[in-house]
Homo-oligomer: A and B are copies of this chain.
Amino acid sequence: MQRTRFGDMACSIARTLDVIGEPWSPLILRDVYVGLTRFDQLQQDLGISRKVLAERLKWLVESGVLARRQYSERPPRFEYTLTDKGTELCDLLLVMVRWGDRWLAGEAGPPVLYRHHACGEIAHVEPSCSACGEPMRATDVDVLPGPGHAG
């Protein structure tokens, strides 16, 4: 298939997709986030092919999103944990959850709820502006070329 690599594009969306855009990668991230950290746990929970899982984990570790840690010397046993980079990537998952809950959940309602530590409420994420704190949606911004713009 010789899939097109997005990493070289001058676009942070494309570069982010290069890291977690491949099938299964966000679900692997989700599972590690909720505490499924071992190879067989992931494989069984997701029903993913072992081959593809090995490829994805390798790539996520190379990308600095996950760390492969040996938690037992003998027998050798490994677990995958989130790095800081990977933890921040989980913000993306919460936004996906929000959209999926809102537009795809249907009658049954959200499959999973999130309670915010700070206030104790069941809530969801709202994108807000880093400068003024007001809501910041795609319709609330102007798009301008930045310093890393190509050409």
Contact = CB atoms under 8 A, between A and B. Distances in A.
Contact of A140 (B93, B116, B138): B116
Contacts of A10: 111
A126 B127 contact: yes
A123 B123 CA distance: 24
A149 B143 CA distance: 39
A90 interface: yes
A109 interface: yes
Contact of A30 (B4, B13, B133): B13
A26 B19 CA distance: 14
A126 to B, nearest CB: 5
Interface string A117-151: 11101111111111111111111111111111110
